[in-house]
Each structure stands twice: as structure tokens, then as C-alpha cells.
Amino acid sequence: MIEPTVTMPPTRVRQPPVRRRGRPLRPSRPTGPFRSRRSSRPPRSPRSADGVRFPVLAVVFVCAACGLVYELELVALASYLIGDSVTQASVVLSVMVFAMGVGSLLAKRLRCRAAVGFGMVEAGLALIGGCSALALYAAFAWLGESRYLVVAFSLAIGVLIGAEIPLLMSLIQRARGAGAASGAGAGSLPASGTGSGVGAGAAKRARRQAPAAAEQDDAAGTVADLFAADYVGALVGGLAFPFLLLPWLGQLTGALVTGAVNVIAGGGLVLWVFRRDLTSRSRALLIAVNISVLAVLATATVLVDDFEEAARRAVYGEQVRVAVHTELQEVVVTGGREGPPDLFLDGRLRVAGQDEYRYHEALVHPAMNGPHERVLIVGGGDGLAAREVLRYPGVSSVTVVELDPGVVRLARTDPALATLNAQAFRDPRVRVVYADAFNWLRGTADRVQERYDVVISDLPDPGITPSTKLYSQEFHGLVARVLTPSGRFAVHAGSVTDRAHTYWTVDATLRAAGFGTRPYSASGRTPGFAAGPDRADRTGGTEQGPGDWGFLLAVPGVRPPALGLAPDAPRLRSLGPGTLAAAARRAERARGPELPPSTLVHPRYGD
């Protein structure tokens, strides 16, 4: 600190102060026109470092949790609306991390107004992140496409998240600098009027060097504290999303509530802790913006149920009979009271009531040509594959391994679905196991006393990522361990014509697991319905899906099995000996080059 002196002409020599007897020496003060008006006012008490540090770390913790919730919300909703969760997660995470770097660079321009800049960043992040799920679902429901919007939201949210830490660092350093300057000013007065000039200069240099070293240590500690709070907050947000927000609030309301928490935390920090860094105009602007964002989020929260109902009608049509969210997925049943129902799981058509018999007859009955006393169905929570199996009087037990109890519950209790599956789950021969099929087979293969004569894989297409492991070589190896030596394994493998690469990869995987395979397909679907358990193609403006269903009949060994119907087969509406022979020839004509099998560590269905 520079001591105040009066500028004198160069010819005059400044006289040392006169010390009177009995009185201590007092420093000289400027007089006349050089005297500052502020010298008569008491100095402002600076903000303590701890008084700034702890509120900032608390807000960093909250904002980090909110930011990760936005990120997971985009990944989950993109996987649900678009499919292929691996691709969607890769796109969202890579774009967001890149955008965070861009946001950190752009934050340099706001350092001169760090307080108002941080407040506006948090308000924008709360609005965009909170409304992102609504916007994505609306784009999918009414426009049929949301891929580009996912990328846009990832960019915007990433830029805003990346600007948070640099702006907070500027605010903390400014507060620490103000405190250090006030402390230095208070200690700059000499203790006595005596002392050499050399000693005084050395003391001043020491006082200037000590704050610089302390400032470097404080900056390093501040960075460590900020990143620690950021990482712990991200952990809490990552755990809160699947275990708290999704089960209790759902995707839409959960995002809106997260946005409200975000804007309250960010706005409260700036308007209270850093209020001295705001002008009256900036303070009024921040208050108005934060209130507006809260009003938008609150209004959207109140109207979210009406919005979801309208969007569901836009996706599934006007005849939505049942719409429930289980612990694992959204289940929707559509159709009129007189017509057959359609079943959608997470937006994908699982059962088309008018032509489902073609799919299930082709899946089940070729595998029943032989011993069929004990049958295992993997998937099939709708009960339709079990319906076909129970038509054989020689069946003594049917085990259905289904992951989602909500689907089975609906198939039992919904009148339309229960009529469609002929009350299959009320048959005493049927036993339902609620488990992941891979884990259940892994734990059961060595404990099962009696092997199964028939195993039926009634699963979604292997191109849908959650089911990929159930089309792996390892899973097929587990199935081989529970089959009798003369057992048959029927697999739904996707479309032969529209997804040939996926279909023949399933064939190669079965053969790598020790099975001989016989490919065949079923076609002739009812116009206007997707041809199998997969999403309808909404992007093309139609509801048409693949043109056929592809199946594989497998038996242990190398030799392919014979394709036919059992002597005690019931009367079928779509299958006959001539139909199966034509189905096999049609599939063989589409055979391509040899493909490698798909494994757990190298899934190949997305190649």
C-alpha cells in the first residue's frame, strides 16, 4: 500500500514530524485539496472467504447433480424414442463433452461480469434442460423425428454446463482478492515513527510477496474444492435419476423439477452471496429472468399430464385403451372394444392383434414337431406363444421367463388381451418366472433335473440393444445346456428381406454355439400393421414395418432339422406343409456370405 504524501515543490525538503514530549508519534495526513473525502468514512467490511466458499460449493454440488440428470434424461429419452441405446449414449455424451469445452472458452468473455453471467447461465440451463424432455417427446409425437433435436439439446446444455466453473472461479477469486486487499490496507500503517528506510522497504516487499504466494495456494485449493463438489454432485444426480426421479416422477416431470431446483440454486447464490457485484439494473434483470423461468417450469409441470395424453394419442392413435408405466417400460394397449388389441412396449409394436396369429403360429408349431412334454418360453409375457403351445394335449408343463411382471399382469387382467391369449396364464400347466432370461438360465442350467424338449425365444428384434445379449453365442450355449438331445430351439431373428445382415448373424451365432439351423420366414401380413415386434416406421410418413418375419429352427449338432408340423398339430390358419416348404426356400434365396457370430464382448447386430 502506498502511504499518502503531499506533493511538494522539488526545492523544498519534507520535514520529519516533530515528536512532542509525552505524546506518541502520529503519521501525517494530507490536508487541503489533497485530502480524500472517503478517508472520513469507515471502511466496508469485506466478505469473508469462508462466507463465500461454502455457499459456492453447495451450489456447485446442486448444479452438477442437475447437469448429470439432464444428460441422463437425453440418453434415456433418445434410446426410448429412437432406439439403439449404445449409439444414442455415444452421440449425447460426446457432443456434450465437446460443448462443455466450447462453453469454458466462451465464459472468458463474461469474466468482467461474472455474477450476472453466472445467473443468466443457470437460468438458461434450467429452462433448456428442464424442457428438453417435453420438446423431444413433442417432436417425436407430432413430427416423427427427434434425432437432430437430441444433438441440439446436447450442444446447448453442454455449452452452459461448461461455462459454470470458470465463472464461479472468477467470482471466488474476486472475493478473495477484495478480502486480501482490505487486510493489507489495515496492516500498512507503521507501528512507530522510528526505523530505517531500508527496513521499511524490506517489510513492504515481504508484505507484497506473501499475499502472492498465498493467492496461488488459495487458487489451487479453490479448484480442488470446486471439482470435488462437482464430482460428488454428479454422483448424487446419477443415482437419483434411476432410483428416485424416474420411479416417482417420470421422465417429463423429473426434468421439470430438476430445472426448478437448478434455477433456485443458481439464482439464489448470485442474488444473495454476490449481490454486491450486481448493479441495480442487473439485479432487477436476474430477478425477472429467474421468476419467468420458474413460472414456465411450474406451468409445464401442471400441464404435463394433458401434454402426455395428447402426445400419446398422436403416437398411438385415438383408441388408447390402457397406458401404464411399469418399473421397466411403458406399456400401451390400443384398439376398439370390438376389434383385437395392439400392444406397444416402449413405443414398439409388440402385438398387432389382426395378424399376430401368423407370427406366433410360425414361431411355435415347427418346433413342436417331436417330443414336446416340457416347453420353455423366453419372453412371451403377452401369453400368445403359450396359447399356441397349450393347444397340444401332450404338453405337461410350460415355463415362461419374463423380465417385466407388468406385462404379464396386463395380459392376465385386460379383457381384450386375456381373450386374445385364451386365458393362457390361468392354465395350471403354466409357470411364470420373473427374471432376466440370461441370468436365470445361467443359474438354472446345472440345477435343472429334467431338460426341456422345446425352447422358444419370443423376443424383440436383435437389433434392439437391450435384447442383444439374448442373441449372443453365450446365451445360445446356455440354451443348449437345458435342451434334451432331441430338443428343438425356435428363434425369432428379425426380417429376412429388410434386415438380412441381422438375420444371418443370428444364424451364424446359433451354428457357432453348436446348433444345426433351418431358416424360414412368414409373410402375408395385414396391410397397415408392422410385421413383427418392432417399431413402426414413422419417419417415412407411414405405419408400415418390415415385410416379413424371419425364424430359425435349431437342434443340437451340425445337421439341419427337418421343417414340418407334428402329427397332433391343431388346425392352423396360416401354416401347412406346403407353406413351410415355401417359407424355407424363400429364406434360403436371401442367404448371403458367411458372417461372424455375435458374442457378449463383440455384438455384431449393429454392424
- CA-angle at 215, arms to 213 and 216, nearest 5°: 65
Q: How buried is residue 114: exposed, middle or buried, by Cβ count under 10 Å (0-12/13-18/19+)?
A: buried
Give residue 301's identity as a one-letter amino acid code. T
Q: For this structure, is 458 an active site residue?
A: yes
Catalytic residue (choose from 458, 461, 507, 534): 458
Helix 197-240, helix 49-82: angle, nearest 10: 30
For residue 490, the tally of other CB atoms under 10 A from its CB is 23
**Calpha distance 518→560 (Å, rounded):** 6
Give residue 494's identity as a one-letter amino acid code. G
Helix 85-106, helix 49-82: angle, nearest 10: 150
**Calpha distance 415→562 (Å, rounded):** 38
Residue 277 to residues 112, 117, 118, 143, 186: CA-CA distances in angstroms? 10, 11, 12, 45, 22
**Calpha distance 489→482 (Å, rounded):** 11
Helix/strand number for the chain, H first, E second? 17, 11
230, 286 contact by CB (below 8 A): no
Single out the residue of 451, 457, 435, 438 nearest to residue 377, CA to CA: 457
Residue 551's DSSP bridge partners are 492, 520
Which residues are catalytically annotated?
Answer: 458
